[in-house]
Structure 1
Amino acid sequence: MSASTTVTAAENRQSIFIVVGSVFLLSVSDAIIKATSADTSMWQLYVIRSLLAIGMLLAWLVHRCGATQLWPISPFWVGVRSLLLALMWIAFYGALPFISLTIAALAIYTTPLFIALFSAISLKENVTSRKWLAIVLGFVGVVVTLGPSADDFNTWTLLPVLAAILYALAMVVTKGKCANEEPMQLALTLNIALLLIGIAGSMVVVQTGPHFPSDEGMRFLVGDWSAMNVGDWWVMVLLAILMVLVSTGIARAYQVGETSIIGAFDYTYLIFAIAWGALLFNEMLNGRTAAGLVLILLSGFILLKKPAAKR
């Protein structure tokens, strides 16, 4: 892939700020979904949230760029990026009925390792030993935080690892082929892809249903659509706003910064997710989790700290 990989320190700082802010908002969105998903289908969420997000993005793009500027510079690569991200979500959620959420999270957090590898190969980024140390340290922090056992792993674990690879490829495409695209156009195309997935998933459920599994997680994955009241619609509007901000922010962060560094700061999502778990769902923070979070924070510090000048 051809792309200029000369990135200034200021651009990296800007991108780190954007990606950390984006994953914070993503954690807020996921916390809301967790709190309200007992009677909501994932496919219903995809369709309604994406329709609302598409409307917001179209309105903003027309206001900012005009109706004639809605088409991306490189439709093929923007489409490839959206397809990779859409397939990522299918692979990740497809594994959840068969493995624990802990193992799925651990597998998906191999993403920074793949991003660094693909960036070095495709974008010719200089992934130094210090960057590799920080990335590996962050992943060790994830392992310590989640504390998986050998009995937790099975062949279905490969699906979230595949999701991690797809996400890494999407971010490399973002930097290598979509660096000059309007971030909101990237977000628009992604939400269109998610809308199509939601429609397809809903049709499969209708053809094979009805499904009323007792487990809330399974009901979220394969359940039918449910009736929505005014409060539910306001929640969907809020989720759509968060989706617009997250998908735009992450696209912009990977356009500007070094993908290997920005990818490592994706780890901060886990910190925010654990914080929301403690605040909203009474999920207590133990010593092991705290130690893992310290390692994740240390990995970010290593990336942010400038190496000593050579004498």
Structure 2
Amino acid sequence: MATNVVSRPNSQEQVLLGVACILFATAGMSLTDALIKYFSANITVWQVFVLRSAFALPCLYLIARWKGNALMPVSLFWTLMRSTFQVAGWLCFYVSLPLMSLSVAAVVVYTTPILTAIFAALIFKEEITSRQWVGVALGFAGVVVILRPWTGDVNWAVLMPFVSAIFYTVTVLVTRQKCRDERATTLTIWSQMTFITFGLAGATIVALLDFDQTLVAGYSFLLNSWPSLSAHEWGVLVAMGLTASVLFIAAARAYQIAPPQIIGTMDNSYLVWAALWSILLFDEIPDSLTLSGMALIFVAGGLSATRPLGGKSAITRR
């Protein structure tokens, strides 16, 4: 999900271009997440963090230089805090992918707008509209439907993307309250450096702990340190890094040239793409109850993230 919101007059052509940009961005981002799930048996989350960001950084640096953006943030402390929460959110999300359907993990993460509305009201005393309260109620109803606690057979792996959503919510609030004056490119560069730092630290810690190999075999995506990569896997990670900057630009551009209410709603197309990749790559077809819960969260996210025309739109996940 994108993070830039800029209000300006919009022509019909700009709106259409903005919609095309956000659809392209969500398609690419969801495919990246699907490929990480697809290769999760052969790579580790630490390698994804380090290698993808290492190849993305040079592209982002060139973009920053071309646009004349400063590399040092206005507030280094809050930029680092934002990046830390963001990376923690991605870690929880990625770790959940080998354990559950991509489409279900994605829709649970998209409770972020709902949590943002609640946290903003509790912490910063922002007003929650009646429309947003409806969204909050529908969102949590959707999570309950997906968890199905009444069956006694709860898939607790669903809690990982929910924790991820909490971290993303804190990222959103820090961005909104403490990083208003930062350039989006600058924030992204520091996020990528934080990914590399966490990736190297995680791989080192896992190697030093020397887990039992039976346990590693069951959770290799998290507990393996740095396995050898095939040429195919190297190519995928390099492609992810190089395309990450393009997807970032597309998402940022969408929010710059089209109304945030429209782009914020179209941002939810990530869920549609995630469901599509789940079917095509993993033959994962949700049952009717799961689909019902996903639909509730989808509608709830739209209600919670947007305000009536003329109001401010919530900053979203990516």
Change (3 A) 1:8 1:140: farther
Change (3 A) 1:305 1:186: closer
Offset, 1:270: 3.7
For 1:152, the equivalent position in structure 2 comes to 154
Is the Cα–Cα contact under 8 Å of residues 110 and 297 in structure 2 kept in the other structure?
Answer: no
After TM superposition, the structure 1 = structure 2 runs for residues 1-311 of structure 1, keeping only pairs within 5 Å, are: 22-65=25-68, 69-90=70-91, 101=100, 108-122=109-123, 124-145=125-146, 147=148, 149-152=151-154, 161-209=162-210, 212-213=213-214, 218-245=219-246, 269-299=270-300
Offset, 1:235: 0.7
Aligned length: 295
Letter in 2 for 1:27: S
Q: List gaps (5 residues or longer) in structure 1.
A: none
Letter in 2 for 1:34: K
Distance in 1 between the 2:120 and 2:253 partners?
A: 17
Q: List gaps (5 residues or longer) in structure 2.
A: 310-318
Change (3 A) 1:143 1:20: farther
Distance in 2 between the 1:254 and 1:291 partners?
A: 30
- Give secondary structure in 1 for the equivalent of 2:39: helix
- Give secondary structure in 2 for the equivalent of 1:152: coil
Is the Cα–Cα contact under 8 Å of residues 139 and 296 in structure 1 kept in the other structure?
Answer: yes
Letter in 2 for 1:74: S
C-alpha offsets along residues 197-242 of structure 1, whole Å, 9 cap, x if unaligned?
1101111232233765587661111113233343322211221134
Is the Cα–Cα contact under 8 Å of residues 171 and 259 in structure 1 kept in the other structure?
Answer: no
- Tell me the percent identity: 32
Offset, 1:33: 1.0
Offset, 1:268: 5.0
Distance in 1 between the 2:65 and 2:219 partners?
A: 39
Query: TM-score w.r.t. structure 1 length?
Result: 0.73
Change (3 A) 1:228 1:211: farther
Change (3 A) 1:28 1:213: farther
Change (3 A) 1:283 1:160: closer
Q: Answer 1 or 2: higher relative contact order, Cα 8 Å, separation at least 6.
A: 2
Is the Cα–Cα contact under 8 Å of residues 205 and 211 in structure 1 kept in the other structure?
Answer: no
Letter in 2 for 1:189: W
Offset, 1:118: 2.2
